[in-house]
């Protein structure tokens, strides 16, 4: 079965994608349209359906209902045909720790049925590209977290896939390695690859061209990060002053306040968009709480978007 959207500009398209495990719904009626040559992110906490959605898209799981089309082909019917066109990197390091770096890549070359004559040159290129050429004979189990991450990415892209799926690939590495990893992703994207990546880091989510915010298997928001921040549907003020913990508790009782969180010496307060000029409103309507405090209207962040989109679920 083919979906109606023209497939040559669409890498991934799902309609009503649902997966249940008994009475538990892991993915609930998920609609996605991911353009070729972009980096698209799944943002959400553990258990929100990111990994299950990725397994449905790769054909590792069969949907309970709904449809998936990847690179113009229906999933899971054509999963085997798509195997050599997709690279998949799991959250947990899944290569062989008792094999060397180079031996792992040779093994993956056999899995991908790469041409024997071209394999040596391709492995050498990957080792150089990912800074592993000086560690080619080291056991994978002896590598640092960042080195393991680079090896896993080198293995996942060894066969030069059109689509790369990465399940929380940076969860166990330091900020410097995370930054370098994302630079590699943009290099791959610039070469024409489409990348689907899951994360729970806000700074990584902001790097994506497009983004879906997931909660309890439901897509709460979908769009470019800048667009989601611009169309938040709420406004943000920052409140300075003393006794911020007590103030936060008082703010939670105000119906117009979506959330309040302390950041250093101020509270960041998300206020429903039914309130105009929230800084002025707070000073006038809640004068006792505002007395002696600096109050500023500030630009929303992606974290504000996430809190606003998923707030109802947390309050239930």
pLDDT digits (tens, 9 = 90+) for 89-108: 988 888 999 999 999 999 99
Same domain, 169 and 73: yes
- Residues of the chain above pLDDT 70, percent: 96
- The C-alpha atoms of residue 310 and residue 161 are separated, in whole angstroms, by 34
Sorting pLDDT into bands at 50, 70 and 90, what band is 5? very low
Average pLDDT over residues 278-302: 95
| DSSP calls for 215-251 | ETTEEEEEE-HHHHHHT-SEEEEEEESS-HHHHHHHH
Comparing C-alpha atoms, which of 30, 51, 45, 40 is closest to residue 10?
A: 40
Asked whether the predicted pLDDT for residue 289 surpasses 60, the reply is yes
pLDDT score at 238: 97
Determine contact, residues 68/14, Cβ cutoff 8 Å. yes
- Domain assignment of residue 308, yes or no: no
Residues 85 and 120 in one domain: yes
Same domain, 15 and 154: yes
Residue at 146 is within a domain: yes
- SS3 assignment, position 71: coil
**pLDDT higher for 289 or 46?**
289
**How many structural domains does the chain have?**
2
pLDDT at 257: 95
Q: How confident is the model at residue 312 (pLDDT cuts 50, 70, 90)?
A: low
Q: What does DSSP assign to residue 100?
A: B
Q: Is the link from the previous residue into 76 a cis peptide, with omega within 30 of 0?
A: yes
pLDDT at 170 over 90: no
- pLDDT score recorded for residue 161: 95
Identify the pLDDT of residue 316. 43
Clarify whether residues 208 and 260 are in a common domain: no
> Quick one: CA dihedral 218, 193, 70, 81, positive or negative?
negative
174 and 241 belong to one structural domain: no
Give pLDDT, residue 158.
96
Residue 84, domain member (yes or no): yes
CB 202 within 8 Å of CB 306: yes
Q: Long-range contacts: 285-288, Cβ < 8 Å, 24+?
A: 286/254
CA distances from 95 to 61, 84, 100, 220, 256 (A): 21, 18, 10, 34, 50
Residues 124 and 178 in one domain: yes
Indicate if 48 and 100 belong to the same structural domain.
Answer: yes
- Whether 192 has a pLDDT exceeding 80, the answer reads yes
What average pLDDT score do residues 159-163 get? 95
CB 258 within 8 A of CB 237: no
206 in the same domain as 253: no
The rounded distance, in Å, linking the Cα atoms of 122 and 109 is: 9
CATH code where residue 21 lies? 3.40.50.300
Percent of the chain with pLDDT over 90: 81
Q: Is 313 inside any structural domain?
A: no
**173 pLDDT exceeds 90?**
no
Of the three residues 228, 250, 273, the one that is the final residue of a domain is 228
| Residue 311 pLDDT | 66
pLDDT band at 27 (very low <50, low <70, confident <90, very high): very high
Structural domain includes residue 173: yes
Asked whether residue 202 falls in the same domain as residue 114, the answer is yes
pLDDT at 314 over 70: no
Residue 310 lies in a domain: no
CA distance 189 to 76: 25
The yes-or-no verdict on residue 247 having pLDDT over 80 is yes
pLDDT over threshold 80, residue 200: yes
155 and 68 together in one domain: yes
- At 35 the pLDDT is 96
Residue 306: inside a domain: no
SS3 164: strand
Which residues pair with residue 100 across a beta bridge? Answer: 139
pLDDT top residue among 1 and 255: 255
Residue 190 has a pLDDT of 95
Whether residues 219 and 247 fall in one domain: no
* DSSP symbol at 64: S
* Residue 22 per-residue DSSP state: T
Which of 21-25, 146-150, 200-204 shows the highest mean pLDDT? 21-25
Task: For residue 194, list its beta bridge partners.
Answer: 163
75 with 26: CB under 8 angstroms? no
In a domain, 307, yes or no: no
User: How far is Cα 77 from Cα 62, in angstroms, rounded to an integer?
Assistant: 9
Please indicate, yes or no, whether residues 102 and 250 belong to a single structural domain of this protein: no
CATH number of residue 287's parent domain: 3.30.70.100
Helices (H), 23-174: 50-58, 79-82, 101-111, 116-129, 145-156
Give the residue from 228, 257, 291 where a domain finishes: 228
Task: State the number of CA atoms in the 13 A half-sphere of 117 facing the CB.
Answer: 0
Decide which of 228, 245, 263 is a domain's last residue. Answer: 228
What does the mean pLDDT of the chain come to? 92
Q: Which domain holds residue 184?
A: 7-228
Q: Which residues are CB-neighbours of 221 under 8 A, at least 6 positions away? A: 211, 212, 213, 228, 305, 309
pLDDT digits (tens, 9 = 90+) for 111-148: 999 998 889 999 999 999 999 999 999 999 999 988 99
Helix axes 116-129, 145-156, angle to 10 degrees: 140
């Amino acid at each position: 079965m083919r979906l109606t959207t023209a497939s040559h500009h669409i890498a991934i398209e799902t309609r009503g994608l649902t997966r249940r495990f008994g009475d538990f719904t892991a993915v609930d009626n998920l609609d996605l349209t991911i353009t070729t040559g972009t980096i698209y992110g799944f943002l959400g906490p553990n258990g929100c359906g990111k990994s299950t959605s990725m397994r449905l898209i790769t054909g590792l799981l069969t949907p309970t209902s709904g449809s998936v089309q990847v690179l113009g082909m229906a999933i899971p019917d054509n999963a085997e045909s798509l195997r050599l066109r997709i690279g998949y990197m799991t959250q947990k390091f899944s290569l062989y720790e008792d094999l060397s770096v180079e031996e792992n890549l040779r093994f993956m070359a056999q899995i991908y049925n790469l041409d024997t004559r071209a394999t040596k040159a391709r492995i050498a290129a990957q080792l150089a590209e990912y800074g592993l050429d000086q560690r080619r004979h080291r056991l994978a189990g002896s590598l640092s977290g960042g080195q393991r991450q680079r090896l896993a990415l080198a293995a996942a892209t060894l066969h030069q896939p059109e689509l790369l799926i990465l399940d929380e690939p940076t969860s166990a590495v330091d900020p410097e390695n995370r930054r370098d990893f994302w630079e590699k992703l943009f290099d791959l994207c610039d070469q024409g690859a489409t990348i689907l990546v899951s994360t729970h880091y806000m700074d990584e989510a902001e790097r994506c061209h497009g983004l879906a915010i997931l909660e309890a298997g439901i897509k709460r928001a979908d769009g470019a990060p800048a667009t989601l921040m611009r169309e938040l549907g709420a406004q943000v003020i920052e409140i300075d002053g003393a006794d911020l913990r007590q103030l936060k508790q008082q703010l939670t009782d105000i119906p117009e306040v979506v959330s309040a969180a302390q950041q250093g010496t101020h509270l960041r307060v998300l206020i429903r968009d039914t309130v105009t000029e929230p800084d002025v409103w707070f000073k006038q309507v809640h004068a006792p709480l505002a007395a002696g405090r600096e109050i500023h209207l500030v630009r929303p962040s992606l974290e504000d978007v996430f809190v606003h989109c998923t707030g109802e679920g947390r309050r239930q």
